[in-house]
Amino acid sequence: MDDYSPREKISLPFFGIPKLFPFLKPYRATIAIMVFMGFLSSLIDSIYPMFNRYALDHFVGSMTLQGMGPFLVIYFLILAFQCVINYRSMFGAGKVEMSVDRDLRNAAFNHLQTLSFSYFNQNSVGYVHARVMSDTGKIGEAVSWRMMDCVWNGAYILFAIIIMLIIDFKLALWILLLMAAAVVLITLFQRKLVNLNRHIRELNSTITGDFNEGIVGARSIKLLGIEDKMQKEFEEDTEKMRRVSVHTARVNAFLISAVAMMSSAALAIVLWQGQGLTRDAVLKIGTLSVFMSYALGMIEPLQTIIQNISVFIAIQVNIERLTRLLAEPADVADTPEVTQKYGDSFHPKKENWEELKGDVTFEDVTFRYPDGEEYIMEHFDLHVPAGTNVAIVGETGAGKSTLVSLVCRFYEPTKGRVLIDGRDARERSQLWLHSNLGYVLQTPHLFSGSVRDNLRYGKSDASDEEIMEALRMVRADGIVERMGGLDAEVGEGGSSLSTGEKQLLSIARALLADPALLVLDEATSSIDTLTEKALQDAIAVVTKGRTAFVIAHRLSTITGADIILVVDDGKIVEHGTHAGLMKEKGKYYALYTKQFRQETTADALG
């Protein structure tokens, strides 16, 4: 989807091409051959009228077929040579387009893997998708086929003008004068068409958004009874697009007619000026045919060049947006020294990785989100010995997820330090930490593929027996058996499973990795009460002997935690065991009893 914004700045043609040089450099030989072949092809196209001139003057004018054999041989040899040239140039253009498109997409996708969570919080999926797919595709087409069009058509016009000036300077000037008028006319209309097409793309984006909202929000629309309102808004947007599209078609039709008229006018000028010269024997019939061919054949290449220049002007926005994405710095990044020792996410040096034991310490940590203004956490201190099962509870927005995000190094502290096994987390690579981390999100996500493929993201070389054991531990083996076994497809995003089933498979995936650090971010919130007891038993087994942070939605699931932290406004206001906190009758007691009453009431009503 093209999300062009009229506020975005448009620069001059080719101005942004230098930013693409690193991606074009590997294919400079292919591009050079492509351009050279384009010049050769246009040169041959421009001399075909000279063959007609020779045939008319020599064979028709002299009424003889002498020399026809060699003439045809040369003609067909040149024709065959041009076929080879065209094949090579078109193959080169296709190779450049696909290669540059692939390299740009790979570079964008790989860079996205290095960016921090804050980037994805600030930019929508649609925006990022457009950069990786739409912008790269347009750039790939522009630096290949569009460039090829400009080369061929520009060279053809140049060669044709040179030939005309050599043959008859005065008649050539008449053609050039008409071409100048054609340039002005086509440029004005092309600019109008560019603006109209941008408007159409904007309206198309709006309609796509309306359509998506109508599908995704279908339930809410029906519950609110606003079908008529949604239909009216959709019809208004489609009617706007129809009006603009009709107007665009009218302008385009006028331009095509004007170009045809220009070609006819050029032909008329040639006939008007040439008939007298031919009559006076100053100009031969063959020469007149050359001018007629060029008069008819030069206007369309001229229009194509102007259209492609408009494309190159518009493509500057795509280049700017893509290069801005590639230059986007990560909020969380390893230092060069750390990368040199431990490697990066794509080239790890695992031989230098130390064993992670799981001792975690917060030292005077103050934090606010990169796109936020208020501090979420201030002067926070905490020590979690290795092997401790820590439960974190609190109201929504209290700072529970912030605490574990800092442990996992999804964000860096604004001030202070987070120590892992006694060393600043920034002294080791992110991949080292994340490879020792098991994280189960509140909103589960499964990748397209089989059950086996999804669980092996936790451990790539896991055997089927190990996978089934992990599934049994969370009582998810029955789900997989009903699906048809480990080869069963989970669907896009796990669409063939319920939320609770996806959550169980996500937990099994984390357990299979056998991480030193385990984080359960309200992982049991989507599990029904029948499954909850079995899951509690499984978590108790798996968390034993390793450091675990459990953000609890249901407080009944964390009563056996080694320590419970009650977070409020980014600060730990209470800490202790379940029994101890219940005796204090403070905030934890209030939260627990409130939830207990709600669950009891729900059970009674259910």
User: Would you list the DSSP string of 507-530?
Assistant: HHHHHHT--SEEEEESTTTTS-HH
Question: With 90 as the cut, is the pLDDT of residue 99 above it?
Answer: yes
Give the position of tokens 């800490």: 575
pTM higher than the cut 0.85: no
Question: With 50 as the cut, is the pLDDT of residue 56 above it?
Answer: yes
Give the position of tokens 């080869």: 487
Contacts of 467 (CB under 8 A, 6+ apart): 451, 452, 455, 456, 486, 508, 512
**Amino acid, single-letter form, for residue 146:** R
Name the pairing type of β-strands 437-440 and 389-393.
unpaired
pLDDT band at 525 (very low <50, low <70, confident <90, very high): low
Q: Which is higher by pLDDT, 303 or 160?
A: 160
CA angle, 486 as apex, 482 and 487 as ends, to 5°? 100
pLDDT at residue 281, as a whole number: 47
Q: Which fold does the domain 9-168+312-331 belong to in CATH? A: ABC transporter transmembrane region fold (1.20.1560)
Q: Which CATH class is domain 340-436+515-605?
A: alpha beta
pLDDT at residue 523, as a whole number: 64
Averaged pLDDT score across all residues of the chain = 81
Least reliable range by pLDDT among 22-36, 61-75, 80-94, 480-494? 61-75
Phi, psi of 5 (to 5 degrees): -115, 130
For 347-358, write each residue's pLDDT tens digit. 889 999 999 999
For 381-392, write each residue's pLDDT tens digit. 889 999 999 999
Q: Which is higher by pLDDT, 412 or 211?
A: 412
Region 522-547: mean pLDDT is: 68
Token pair in block for residue 541: 């087994």
pLDDT band at 325 (very low <50, low <70, confident <90, very high): confident
Confirm if 178 and 280 have CB atoms less than 8 A apart. Answer: no
Ranges of each domain in the chain: 9-168+312-331, 169-282, 340-436+515-605, 448-497+504-512
Question: With 60 as the cut, is the pLDDT of residue 49 above it?
Answer: yes
DSSP string, 226-285: -HHHHHHHHHHHHHHHHHHHHHHHHHHHHHHHHHHHHHHHHHHHHHHHHHHHHHTTSS-H
15 alpha-carbon distance from chain centroid: 23
The answer to whether domain 9-168+312-331 and domain 340-436+515-605 are alike in fold is: no
Question: With 90 as the cut, is the pLDDT of residue 340 above it?
Answer: yes
pLDDT at residue 282, as a whole number: 44
Region 352-374: mean pLDDT is: 88
